[in-house]
Amino acid sequence: MSRVTPACERLGTPLRDGLLVVAADLLAARGFAGLRMADVASRTGVSRQTVYNEFGNKAGLVQAVAVHRTAEYLVGVEQRLGGADRPFDGMRDALAFMLEQASKDRLITSVVTGADAEDLLPFLTTRGLPVLLPAVAIVAEHLRRRWPDLPAERLRLAAETIVRLVLSHLLMPSAPPEQAVEAMLAVARAVLPEEG
């Protein structure tokens, strides 16, 4: 029977989530090349084979970390999008949340700055569909609720533009977070009607 570390037990997470937490920590410190399945296994108190059974290989594990982290962020984004009376206020809150959380996330900081994890950049760029698609879906659903009369294709294009803009600001910040949020919001206002 598999054993989960006390840290994972304290968090109340299942084995898979515990493996993902440990893998994310190791990825932030070592990058893709330095990640070893045996280290993930040993830190969670399971066999290496258990890790392979769960994720298939190292690329599968890293992809699962990306999907898991994205899901965590999207819960907060969804709450902020729906928590405001006016659609652009919800967007402002969600954009600020994303930039703030990303600045605190050791793994994202490592990926974006290239410190220790520069080989993970493809998981946000060329291999970033598991990050991009769920984020676009959340934003598109928010836009659909706020602008029900707009064509679905226009809403999808607006959602994807906004999400790609957020990823761009995460990868290459060009202004303080407050200014970046207002710049991204200006783009959203340019592609969407004022009242939703």
Residue 6 has pLDDT above 50, yes or no: no
Q: What percent of the chain has pLDDT over 70?
A: 82
Residue 51 has pLDDT above 90, yes or no: yes
pLDDT at 2: 35
The encoded tokens of residue 42 equal 């040993």
pLDDT at 64: 87
Across all residues in the chain, what is the average pLDDT? 83
pLDDT at 125: 61
Stated pTM of the model: 0.75
Q: 31-40, pLDDT tens digit by residue?
A: 888 899 999 9
Q: At what angle do helices 106-113 and 152-171 cross, to 10 degrees?
A: 80
Cα–Cα distance for residue pair 38/90, rounded to 1 Å: 43
Summarize the confidence of residues 99-106 as an average pLDDT: 83
Assess if CATH 1.10.357.10 describes domain 6-191.
yes
